[in-house]
Structure 1
Amino acid sequence: MPPLTYRSTSVLSALKTKSFTFTTTACKSQNPMTTPSDISTIYAPTTLKSRLHNRETLYGLFLLSFSPTLAEIAGLAGYDYVVVDMEHGPGGVSNALSCIHALAATRTPAILRLPENCPTWAKKALDLGPQGIMFPMIQTQKAAEEAVSYCRFPPNGVRGSANTVVRASSYGIDEGYLGNYEDKLLIMCQVESEEGVENAEEIAAVDGVDCVQIGPRDLSFSMGYMGDMGNNKLRETMRVAEKAVLGGGGTYLAGIASPFDRPDDLRRRGYHMVAGGVDVGLFRSATVEDVKRFKMGLMEARL
């Protein structure tokens, strides 16, 4: 009997354009148990990397709170990816794992942003099995090359190996992990300083760098504008960085929206990954507005 194939057609899956293929290998034999080599066939999601290769524009969210509940809500809401932010958020590796579990339950890819560009943080983050990893404050070609090396096992890199027991390889059940992990992992480098902008073209050209994330707020501080996101000089510098990344043609551009750069603005300028905001900021805005409405209602009632 040929394998039975089921493709999800739920509304949520259609909205998120996430394709999942399930193959029932039990039909091939009397034994209903599958073998380790069948795992990648049974559960084969379309990855962020493959969606970018298909020229899709992905919409995401930064998760600063490290709340698994908010992570789950973000996934159910339909975001294409969620960046679990270990650079500025209060959580570490164990907290990030809880968020990854929550996102996995909604079939939403997680990207881990590291606190710094170093092999120890990269190794621990990669072992959790995110679809993407983001290195902050990459300013030179050498730093980008080092970041990539932290993601690759020897002889192509310096990543330490515990692939037989970590989540990234389904705790060793995925026997094909070493053969395909590079194809599935999205490596992102952040350009967020004047020096980084000057070297953006070289950073984007590094073999293994899939995507460059522009960081406008840190860039504004680097230029002396202290978070003045509407500054014309800042915006001009961002355009320089964007053109440098897109000029090579092989590296994708990622960014985060602001009142001065709405998601559609970024999309029109060639961004293929656009984060709409930060969970804490969205919650803050919603709660401040909620309280404001109530207090205004009280004032009106007294008139």
Structure 2
Amino acid sequence: MAEIASYAGYDFIVVDMEHGAGGVREALTCIRAVEAAGSSTVLRVPDNCQAWTKKALDLGPDGIMFPMIETGKAASDAVSYCRYRPDGLRGCAYSIVRDSKFGFDEEYLRNYTDQLLIMCQIESEEGVKNVKDIVAVDGMDCVMMGPRDLSASLGLLHDPGNAKVKSLMRTAETAVIASDPENGGAYLAGMATAQDKPVDLRLRGYHMIIGATDVPLFKKAVVDDVKSFKLGCS
């Protein structure tokens, strides 16, 4: 499915290890398929921690996404997990991992920071409150908004279109855009939803827009197929 999505024309594919059954081995298979089809990968880790980041980056994705970032300190920690010492805390096995082409990339240590997109998700009321501290973190390239978890943090899990959720979304969006990504600030990313169509996000200044996910796409396709079959046989 990752390979098909890449051939379909998506600029990048998010490989998700936070939710679902997929782990490191499955993520590697997806990354290889996406690369072979000519697209790029952003790998979402299950948690903002050094161990998961190390395992994820060794696979060689084009970007990494950290969930539930709520403070500038958490964003700074995330960036540190992506940098080798003395600039960060990433464990050093660069001569034998896929990220460096198993040591064949002789320019790797000079270029590895420039070739990785670091995304932090703001998906809680606390995260919105600290959005300016988050976008100010050096090395944090992009803020990814998470409206569903944001609505849950407000006690509105079943109402992501609530005016209060929308208001906090606008607060965070405005702060990220004002940070000016061309001059050291952060880019703004988000997912198209029933409440926010891709065109809505684009008009609000989003730089990266994530479309549909594989499970809902497949679910709709099979439900429609079953309905069509039943109608044809009735």
Q: Structure 2 length normalisation: TM-score?
A: 0.96
Q: Deviations over 1:106-165 (max 9, x none)?
A: 121111100000000000100100000000000000000000000001111010111111
Match for 2:196: what amino acid?
D
Equivalent of residue 180 in structure 1, options 106, 111, 114:
111
Give how far 1:227 is off: 3.3
TM-score (norm 1): 0.75
Alpha-carbon distance in structure 1 between the residues aligned to 2:158 and 2:17:
21
Aligned to 2:223: 288
Equivalent residue in structure 2 for 1:253, among 175, 178, 188: 188
Q: Secondary structure at the match of 1:190?
A: strand
Q: Which segment is superposed worse, 227-236 or 167-176?
A: 227-236
Q: Secondary structure at the match of 1:126?
A: helix
Residue number among 50, 53, 57 corresponding to 1:126 in the alignment: 57
Q: Deviations over 1:235-283 (max 9, x none)?
A: 1111111011111112100110111100111111111111112100111
Aligned pairs (5 A) from 1:1-303: 70-250=1-181, 251-299=186-234
Counterpart CA distance in 2 for 1:248 and 1:283 is: 38
Paired residues in the alignment total 230
Give every structure 1 segment of 4 or more consecutive aligned residues whose post-TM-superposition deviation is greater than 4 Å.
none
* SS of 2:73 mapped into structure 1: helix
What do residues 28-60 of structure 1 show as CA deviations (whole Å, max 9, x unaligned)? xxxxxxxxxxxxxxxxxxxxxxxxxxxxxxxxx
Letter in 1 for 2:195: F
Other structure's SS at 1:110 match: strand
What is the CA distance between 1:94 and its match in structure 2? 1.1
| Amino acid corresponding to residue 141 of structure 1 in structure 2 | G
Which amino acid is 1:179 matched to? R
Q: State the Cα deviation string for residues 147-185 of structure 1 (Å, max 9, x = none).
A: 000000111101011111110001100010000011110
Give % identity.
Answer: 60
One-letter amino acid of the counterpart of residue 243, structure 1 = T
1:293: how far off?
2.2
Gaps of 5+ in 1: 1-69
- The structure with the larger Rg is 1
Greater relative contact order: 1 or 2 (C-alpha under 8 angstroms, separation 6 or more)? Answer: 1
Unaligned runs of 5+ in 2: none
